[in-house]
Amino acid sequence: MPAQLRDLLFVLNPISGDVDKTALESTITAYCTERGRTAAFFHTTGQNDLAHLTSHLAEHRYDAVFAAGGDGTVSLVAEAVSGSALPLGIIPLGSGNGLSKDLGIPQDVPAALRLTWEYTVRTLDTLRVGGLFAAHLADIGFNALIVQKFDEGDVRGPGAYVRIATQEYAAYQPASYHIQTDRETWEGEAFMLTIANANTFGSNVVINPNSRLDDGEFELCLIAPFPNTAAPGLLYRLYTSDFDESDYTRRLRCRHARIAVSGAGQVLVQVDGEPHQLPTPVDVEIQPRSLRVLVPVPTEA
């Protein structure tokens, strides 16, 4: 049996996803109180959240820290506890919830709250992308642009993401890349380049089939420029775990990589759902088994 979690911190993002959080604190408090747990809360503001959370954790003792929000909130909490024995729990409340889906964490609050008393711990790898922490996925190229436009908009939810992607697709121009990994060199054009320590985007697109979150490696998943006539077939493969079967896809497995973008001093990169402008080349490296996460107990076959 796992150790009991008594003192819990819940990190809340008030604007993640398209979810009403009015009663969330009272729901969490009541749930924990009924089971002999103590719930404390930390609210993100978008201003120096990592420094404030890290300072809070240094001054208080908790048995676990739960991220109650979207991918950005999960990444924030994951970075704060990475490298320590303090485990991360996830209450998925964002538009995508990518890492929680990859880990099999329930997507509704009551079921996810079961992790406060019934759980197992997985120790996962994390990434550094251009010096930034990443717990799940990062992108250069088309999806990074869509994430930036989504972040700038006022509407949340999957529908807004699809609308933006449809609007931007026709005018998007692929970039040329030079990639040096610990195993190989690759050069060419790409519509999108995903830096993947996981399998699936929050949109359920399977960008990196059969990968593992704890194998000490990550994958660079490349989608080459493709004609409009190939788009339906490529999209179908991305939703059916057949990424490797397309003529327009390629994966490079590695432990570290240097990614240069031709003619660019800086490049737009999305990291765990947050857009950033980073200088090129962008260095990526794996941080093996650096994050402890609470996940559901596997069911017996």
| pLDDT of 13 | 83
CA angle 291, 200, 70 (to 5 degrees): 65
| pLDDT of 20 | 57
- Which residue matches tokens 């009272």? 26
Q: How far is Cα 14 from Cα 16, in angstroms, rounded to an integer?
A: 6
| pLDDT of 166 | 73
| pLDDT of 241 | 82
Instruction: Give residue 156's identity as a one-letter amino acid code.
Output: R
Kindly state the tokens that stand for 206: 């399977």
Q: How far is Cα 90 from Cα 194, in angstroms, rounded to an integer?
A: 23
Kindly state the tokens that stand for 81: 């506890």
CA angle 121, 90, 291 (to 5 degrees): 45
| pLDDT of 165 | 74
288 CB-contact burial (10 Å; exposed 0-12 / middle 13-18 / buried 19+): middle
Cβ–Cβ under 8 Å, residues 168 and 154: no
Cβ–Cβ under 8 Å, residues 201 and 223: no
Q: Identify the DSSP state of 2.
A: P
HSE-CB of 141 using CA atoms within 13 angstroms: 24
Q: How far is Cα 193 from Cα 22, in angstroms, rounded to an integer?
A: 38
Q: How far is Cα 226 from Cα 89, in angstroms, rounded to an integer?
A: 39
Q: Give the pTM.
A: 0.89
CA-closest candidate to residue 42, choices 66, 61, 22: 66
The domains of the chain, with CATH numbers, are: 7-118 (3.40.50.10330), 132-289 (2.60.200.40)
Q: How far is Cα 290 from Cα 288, in angstroms, rounded to an integer?
A: 6
| pLDDT of 194 | 95
Kindly state the tokens that stand for 156: 């949340």
CB atoms within 10 A of CB 227: 7
| pLDDT of 15 | 62
The mean pLDDT values, 10 residues at a time, for the chain of 301 residues are 85 68 87 94 94 97 95 95 97 87 93 95 97 95 85 64 74 92 97 92 82 94 90 83 88 97 90 92 97 90 50
Q: Which residues make Cβ contacts (< 8 Å) with residue 71, sequence separation at least 6?
A: 94, 96, 97, 98, 99, 136, 202, 272, 273, 274
Cα 291 to chain centroid distance, Å, stands at: 13
